[in-house]
Structure 1
Amino acid sequence: MQDQAQHNNERPTLSFWQIWNMCLGFMGIQFGFALQNANVSRIFQTLGAEIDDIPILWVAAPLTGLIVQPIIGYLSDKTWGRLGRRRPYFFYGAIVTTAALLVMPNSPTLWVAAGMLWIMDASINVTMEPFRALVGDNLPNKQRALGYSLQSFFIGVGAVVASSLPWVLTNWFDVSNTAAAGVIPPSVQYAFYIGGAFLLVCVMWTVFTTKEYSPEQLASFSEDGDSSQAGQEKARINFARTLSVSGAVGVIIIAAVGLMDLEKELYLLGGLLVAFALLQALAAWQQQQGHTQNGFFTVVHDVFNMPRAMRQLAWVQFFSWFSLFAMWIYTTGAVTSYHFGTADVTSKAYNDGADWVGVLFAAYNGFAALAALVIPVMVKQWGIRLAHAVNLLVGALSLVSFLLIKDPNWLMLPMVGIGFAWASILSLPYAMLASALPSAKMGVYMGIFNFFIVIPQLLAASILGLILKHGFANEPIYALVIGGASFVLAALSLTRVKLNNKNIG
């Protein structure tokens, strides 16, 4: 009887302030992330990048996430020390991210800035990935939607301040937002310095105020995920079909680019498919040799053995993040050219437009912080899937409205809808996912789930520039319309998601 009670043991309910402390670090992470999203395209253009070069320069961000997050997830599942399971990665990742934020706005050339983006995004991913797993580790199923919504609230608050910092420094403190050709304006530089300090303080607050359950305690809790995934026994995988298809398609794309003189961005798409085939070949060889007790094979194996709900949610994430990436990399170009009428990066009109984009990004994050307080009520009234679908459709309408609105001041209106979509994307898919995952693999599966955030971003980096160049005369405003269509596909994909656990609150 005692054994049965132990087996049925649920995680204890945490107080609001315990959840608050656990999630506060995400505000600091988002401070750095928002500075990156709102200003890196501006930095690239200032240092000489053409508008159709922007997507390929941004490839650093998703590619580092693709590599780093599953590795960190796997390692953090296996870690236990003085700082616990996830917190060591918060600690060291925050230090490196802070250093990168201090260096980025001082980049002397375009390629230095691109390299710093790789470093900054890698360190943000080291810090960010375990935060998602920590909520799944520490909270009972009924509190997970609240936990991820509180993360969304902090993300919104942090991003409001971070995105608007260059504008605030210019308009409130008279810091210049212009500089000589090839020089990053002082307002952007100081914003990055402030962001680095803020990120470090917030993450360290979580590190030193949050406790974690030991591996033994986690093992004592009843599994609310797919327990079939938790065992050490690895089912044999037939890699042949996906290996041959991905490899063949990748080689064909690479050959076509060379023979038909297609745009070089397609090399990225072909190269990723070939790399995926090579990774599968290595995993297949390890399986044949019986070398399956290692991190590489575990990650590849778990990619092919995801829980059903995770596979279904992958499509929702794919289309959602394609939309977000289109918005992040093209809003500056869209607003400055379509609403402010210039592409001259040295002009006052361009820099006023770029500053206004920072304000708009701050606004949607502010609305997201408010939406994070409303979304748990929506979930309670409508259910988690319908609530997420509604928010995605509102986001779709908001992105398309950029084409219809001529006065840049009225662009504040669609930021409300984008805020709701953003808050929902940051919370509800993770609440649905956590209920489908075993505790022993929470980190690695959260890392693998990031693939479906990264892959659409890499696809966008490969093809969005080509679509705009050949279909829309290089007008970046149409990237936002494409993003709106992708949000609609994400909402439709939710109809396929089947959740076993109904107690997701």
Structure 2
Amino acid sequence: MQSSTNKPRLSFWQLWNMSFGFFGIQFGFALQNTNTSRIFSTLGANADDLALFWLAAPITGLLVQPVIGYLSDNTWHPFWGRRRPFFFVGALLASVAMFLMPNSSMLWMAIAVLWMMDSAINISMEPFRAFVGDKLNPSQQTAGFAMQTFLIGCGGVIASLLPSLLTNYLGVSNVPVDGAIPDTVRYSFYFGGAIFALSVMWTVFTTKEIPPTDLEKFRQERKNNQGFARAITEILGGFLKMPKTMVQLGWVQFFTWVALFSMWVYTTPSIAEIVFHSTDAQSAAYQEGGNWVGIMFGVYGGVSAIAAFILPILSRMTSRKFVHMICLMIGGVSLVSIFLISSKQMLLLPMVGVGIAWASVLTMPYAILAGALPANRMGYYMGLFNFFVVIPQIVAGFVLGAMLKHLFNYQSVKVLMLGGFCMILAGILTMFVKDVVEQS
């Protein structure tokens, strides 16, 4: 690939085009994050089993992202380029899964489709992180990740609000009939599947990739790297060769993503119980709570879209890791505060703090990491870095249900408090990270 010093500066619209696929990817993730617990509960899942059923999401990330990163590093096609073939295939598969998810008639079907949907989304998503490192010189990388974060926020807002918009403005039914998924959720997923495909295709067909500087050398290296056994050896061996910055960020990511997983899994049952006074997923009150959680998540998505353009400015004034620490602290305190709130309108306030943290989570760790990685292994290491996103979620998936049952007496909101404290700890650990670019 071209050296970072030879990469041309891109215009605003070039940054927009190369990042626009993330609008659709987050559309899919937001529908998943906002509605999966609701779907599982409607189909009969118990609250203490929700985290276990959610394991499909992090496990598919654990399996898919490093492999896709490795494969995309060793791919080149004159028309499709390096990362875009994976954008394209992942988008098609994810769209199909999003049409299937709300038509699940039994719990096991919804869990199976979640595996398919999350695998497909990861196929599209992982190369997007490496895309920034491929195309941008270091002076634009933070801006590139910020653009991704802005579009992630926009996609998250619209997707999270869809069920409420369909109910309030189009009169679509929000009540389960005979145990089926409400129409609001079904139609939201149909719309989301179409948006996912169209957004990713926009990036695929409006953005070109930079070819390897020495194409013959690249082809020879690709030939040497072929084979399943070689791929597995390279992926697993990467743990022993990780840059120090990546290891330090790994601890930050661990506690951050325990907090986020807790929020995504348990916000719906928490709000349904403490605000709408229902634990029966078949009731209108519980489903109304599910819609309100969509509004809450829409708020944090909207705040993150705005914060995405402010954080790079603040990082230039201070440092990237200082900004990330403050943002995580704000997000952690906000999650803890939900325990003290019983008004649905007041619940929007902590979501502002969560949105600030979410903007930083999607920007700063990747900007810091990109400066510490070799250019020819960007996709591979970005995929490997995802281990520090999915492993904490897997750990949380196995332990949170037991904690809810045995420590928290089925009070889901206490799991959100635990997540808040984990995010505060992640903020503290950020100060021990070495940012290579800023310290060079």
Instruction: Report the Cα offset of residue 472 of structure 1.
Output: 0.9
Counterpart-to-counterpart distance in 1, 2:156 and 2:431: 31
Q: Does 1:158 align with 2:94?
A: no
The one of 478, 482, 485 equivalent to 2:414 is 478
| Partner amino acid, structure 2, of 1:148 | F
- Contact 1:152 1:369 survives alignment (8 Å): yes
Aligned to 2:133: 136
Q: Secondary structure at the match of 1:215?
A: coil
Instruction: Report the Cα offset of residue 217 of structure 1.
Output: 6.7
- Contact 2:4 2:137 survives alignment (8 Å): no
Q: Secondary structure at the match of 2:363?
A: helix
Q: Secondary structure at the match of 1:432?
A: helix
| Partner amino acid, structure 1, of 2:44 | G
For residues 67-110 of structure 1, what are the alpha-carbon distances to aligned partners after superposition, in whole Å with 9 as ceiling and x for unaligned?
Answer: 00000000000000120000000001000000000010000100
Q: Does 1:432 align with 2:368?
A: yes
Q: Secondary structure at the match of 2:431?
A: helix
TM-score (norm 1): 0.83
Q: Secondary structure at the match of 1:214?
A: coil
| Partner amino acid, structure 2, of 1:64 | T
Counterpart-to-counterpart distance in 2, 1:294 and 1:350: 50
| Partner amino acid, structure 2, of 1:203 | V
The one of 74, 81, 84 equivalent to 1:78 is 74
Structure-to-structure mapping, 1:297-336, within 5 angstroms:
297-336=233-272
Gapped regions of structure 1 (runs ≥ 5)? 1-5, 221-230, 233-290
The one of 165, 171, 178 equivalent to 2:175 is 178
Q: Secondary structure at the match of 2:198?
A: helix
TM-score (norm 2): 0.95
Q: Does 1:375 align with 2:311?
A: yes
Among all aligned residue pairs of Structure 1 and Structure 2, give the percentage whose two residues are the same amino acid.
50
Aligned to 2:56: 60
Q: Secondary structure at the match of 1:474?
A: coil
Instruction: Report the Cα offset of residue 436 of structure 1.
Output: 0.4
Aligned to 1:33: 29
Counterpart-to-counterpart distance in 2, 1:407 and 1:18: 43
Structure-to-structure mapping, 1:93-492, within 5 angstroms:
93-216=90-213, 294-492=230-428
Counterpart-to-counterpart distance in 2, 1:8 and 1:370: 28
Counterpart-to-counterpart distance in 2, 1:182 and 1:353: 17
For residues 443-485 of structure 1, what are the alpha-carbon distances to aligned partners after superposition, in whole Å with 9 as ceiling and x for unaligned?
Answer: 1100110000000000110101111111110110001100110
Q: Secondary structure at the match of 2:87?
A: helix
- Misfit runs of 4+, over 3 Å: 6-10, 217-220
Q: Secondary structure at the match of 2:349?
A: helix
Counterpart-to-counterpart distance in 1, 2:34 and 2:7: 39
Q: Secondary structure at the match of 2:434?
A: coil
- Contact 1:360 1:412 survives alignment (8 Å): yes
Instruction: Report the Cα offset of residue 179 of structure 1.
Output: 2.0
* RMSD of aligned Cα (Å): 2.0
- Contact 2:4 2:138 survives alignment (8 Å): no
Counterpart-to-counterpart distance in 2, 1:468 and 1:57: 15
| Partner amino acid, structure 2, of 1:470 | H
Q: Secondary structure at the match of 2:271?
A: helix
